[in-house]
Amino acid sequence: MLKFLPLAVVVWLVVAWFELNMLMRWMLSSVVLVYAFLLALPPKKLTEKTFGQNIKFKLPILLIIAGILWFLGGKFGFPIWWQIEFVAFALVALAFFMLLDIKTLKPEKSTFSWVFRLLTTYALASGLFIVITAQLPQFDPQVEVDKLNRPPVKLEGLAGPEVIAAGREVFENNKCFNCHKVFWEGNSDRGPNLGTRQIGLYSEDYIRGQITNPRADQSPGFDDKKSKKAMPTYYEEDLSEDEIDAVVAYLKTLRDPTHMPVEGKFGSQWTWWDDPKIIAEGKVIFEGFGKQTEGLNCAVCHGKEGIPIMTGAMDFRKADNPDTNKMPDHMPGVLMKDWPDALWYKRVTRGIDATPMAPWGMLFPHLYLWKAEAYARTFHDPLDKRTEKRPIPPVPTKEEIEKWKTDGLFMDPLL
Ligand code: HEC
Ligand code: HEC
């Protein structure tokens, strides 16, 4: 064993010479030492293993490793196919180690028989390969050529829904789905889920800017080194003016009238209810100083300190206030502290019939109304007294999204 120590030192130095990091040095040197240790063990009597003995330890160990891989894959948000692939790799390792311990073959009796065996094995393997791959989706050059030759999106003469549909196509064809989910659709969470983030609440200029000059503004929670550089910078050149217009029109539709926007990277997300920056912006709007919300001042009726100035206006300090009873869809018995996001949104955008609480959503961008709501809540639920954040709502399903439209939950799709 000691004989190998100089070798380990040499490996250490060579690795150091190549300027690999400390971890690599330790790893490579320890591989040498483990090898040395194994070689130094007294030789075991070699016996053939039966199939049962062969898999006795390997199979349970593999099952545990496969389980861990599956679990970790899921935890880190890999798509299901990747998880299956990880487990498949573990199975390949099992096959490999089983092969190492398999019984030795008997010597061939004649040249003919080994040639015959070799050829039939080759034929069998090739046959299997052809049969399996023939079942998989085939590459069709024509389809790819057609994609390249597709006429560029031209907006002339297209009306609203067609522009949005064209924008959706631009989104699909330019691999945006490779990094962005849109609610439940998409393959990875490298970039923000543009649905639950509700990118449609933002102005067209902001969205356009994020596509043509993505380094100017980082999406909240995506300011780590890797994410900062992830969003490609070539779209300004690759996409025509019309294509950008269309994709912006599509992104403008991504909103959720039933939940506060969700920010941050999958795994460490938060809602606007608990976002100090949003709440600070909401205060400015609530008190009537919002630049983009000139003429909106919640405080003139609800009071700067939350003490209503107008009689009858909701007192946000009282967590036990019920919903108004002046609306046909009112929710009796539900206290303000438990109001669903959808109720806040509906009352503030749609207003309360025959009261000074006007349908603000007809006049002002909903982006700012959500922020004012996040602030209004702090009168009975101050930010610094919260022991935990509000849970991240489940991603809405396709059926739910359809229902928002049929239920007319948006006042004006573009506000
Ligand atoms: C290689 C991964 C990748 C691809 C492909 C990609 N994005 Fe992004 N995108 C990101 C990341 C990461 C961020 C967050 C960091 C940032 O703001 O730059 C982001 C940010 C954005 C934002 C800003 C979101 C916000 O919260 O302000 C928009 C809008 C956007 N992408 C649109 C698109 C569109 C449209 C496409 C396709 C034309 C696309 N992205 C393709 C990774 C990608
Ligand atoms: C012109 C006065 C006025 C302004 C401005 C105003 N409100 Fe109100 N608001 C009222 C009155 C009055 C009520 C009570 C209506 C009722 O139930 O009779 C009310 C009720 C509410 C309620 C309770 C809804 C319910 O279900 O009972 C919420 C939430 C609310 N306002 C939020 C806001 C926010 C946020 C703003 C600013 C974006 C705002 N209000 C601006 C007058 C106003």
Which protein residue has the closest C-alpha to ligand 2 atom 21?
314
Which ligand is closest in space to the CA of residue 236?
1
Q: How far apart are CA 289 and CA 89, in angstroms?
A: 59
Residue 314 Cβ < 6 Å to ligand 2: yes
Which secondary structure element, helix H or strand E, spans residue 149, and what is its range? helix 141-149
Residue 341 Cβ < 6 Å to ligand 2: no
Residue 235 Cβ < 6 Å to ligand 1: yes
Q: How far apart are CA 367 and CA 360, in angstroms?
A: 12
Residue 372 Cβ < 6 Å to ligand 2: yes
pLDDT tens for 346-376 read 999 999 999 999 999 988 999 999 999 999 9
Residue 355 Cβ < 6 Å to ligand 2: yes
Q: How far apart are CA 9 and CA 197, in angstroms?
A: 53
What are all long-range contacts of 87-94, with beta carbons under 8 Å and residues at least 24 apart? 90/62, 90/65, 90/66, 91/62, 91/66, 93/62, 94/58, 94/59, 94/62
Which protein residue has the closest C-alpha to ligand 1 atom 40?
176
pLDDT at 80: 86
pLDDT at 414: 54
Residue 355 Cβ < 6 Å to ligand 1: no
Bridge partners, residue 263, by sequence: 270
Q: Measured at the alpha carbon of residue 197, what is the angle toward residues 193 and 201, in degrees to the nearest 5? A: 130
Which protein residue has the closest C-alpha to ligand 2 atom 11?
313
Ligand 2 centre to CA of 345 (Å) is: 11
Q: What's 335's DSSP letter? A: B
Atom of ligand 1 nearest to the CA of 197: 26
DSSP letters of 268-298? EEEEGGG-HHHHHHHHHHHTT--STTTT--T
Q: How far apart are CA 105 and CA 121, in angstroms?
A: 15
Instruction: Give the residue, out of 202, 225, 231, 275, with the most ligand 1 atoms within 8 A of its beta carbon, to mutate for a pocket test.
Output: 231
pLDDT at 415: 56
Ligand 2 centre to CA of 355 (Å) is: 9
pLDDT at 1: 60
- What is the pTM (predicted TM-score) of this model? 0.71
Cβ neighbour number for residue 171 with a 10 Å cutoff: 21
Q: How far apart are CA 402 and CA 192, in angstroms?
A: 22
Residue 334 Cβ < 6 Å to ligand 2: no
> Which CATH number among 2.60.40, 3.40.50, 1.10.760, 1.10.3470 corresponds to the domain 272-406?
1.10.760
Residue 321 Cβ < 6 Å to ligand 2: no
Residue 389 Cβ < 6 Å to ligand 2: no
Chunked into runs of 10 residues, the chain (415 residues) has average pLDDT values of 74 76 78 82 81 90 94 86 92 92 82 90 96 83 74 67 91 93 91 95 94 92 90 93 93 94 93 97 96 94 93 93 92 93 94 93 93 96 93 93 81 56
Ligand 2 centre to CA of 262 (Å) is: 24
Ligand 2 centre to CA of 88 (Å) is: 58
Residue 209 Cβ < 6 Å to ligand 1: no
CATH class as words, domain 160-254? mainly alpha
pLDDT tens for 105-132 read 788 788 888 899 899 999 999 999 999 9
The token pair that represents 127 in the structure block: 């046959």
pLDDT at 160: 82
pLDDT at 395: 94
